[in-house]
Amino acid sequence: MYWMATNGHGGASPRHVPPHFRPSQRDTAERHAEATAADWQVILHLRTLIARDPAIVLQLLADARHQPISYTTTIYAATREAISDHPDRPMLHYYAAAAAAQLGRFREAEAALDESIRLEPKHPAAHLLAARVALETRQHDRVHERLSLAETAGACPNEIAAIRDRLGSRGRTDEREATRE
């Protein structure tokens, strides 16, 4: 297994990590928190691609699930850069929210989703993602609100049902944890 590590000069260099080494979540977050200077060339290139075809972000994020976290951070940064060029495009805000959520940056995801929905109120995928983000942040009342808006916007009933199922199981888990305390 290879790990991309900073070589002290801002560049990245691969180094071997023994199989028994499992970096803590904090170490991983610190190492990959921000894009390096070399990543900015990639960010600027992605920014151009995203501005031409915002849907490319979905493919990049799907690929990101199998890449280091810095890959998703770079996609997020490029999407934010594309938004600075085209702030009136709701899909760019939606894709930024998807990348932020994948990174666990739920407040940033919520803000981007709010802007996407403000620009395009009948965007079912934005409402569904907003419900998922609310679920992850344990805002159960907000999940119901977002799912209702998703239904009105014409979201897939199966996806709505899946989120409601997760909400039901999450609610039962929260109740069990509360009774233990």
Give per-residue pLDDT as tens, 25-58: 444 444 444 445 556 667 777 777 777 787 788 7
On whether the CB atoms of residues 69 and 87 are closer than 8 A, the answer is no
Select the more confidently predicted residue: 124 or 29. Answer: 124
Per-residue confidence (pLDDT) for residue 100, from 0 to 100: 93
Distance in angstroms (rounded) separating the CA atoms of residues 20 and 38: 30
- Domain extent listing, the chain: 35-180
Fold adopted by 35-180: 1.25.40
On whether the CB atoms of residues 90 and 119 are closer than 8 A, the answer is yes
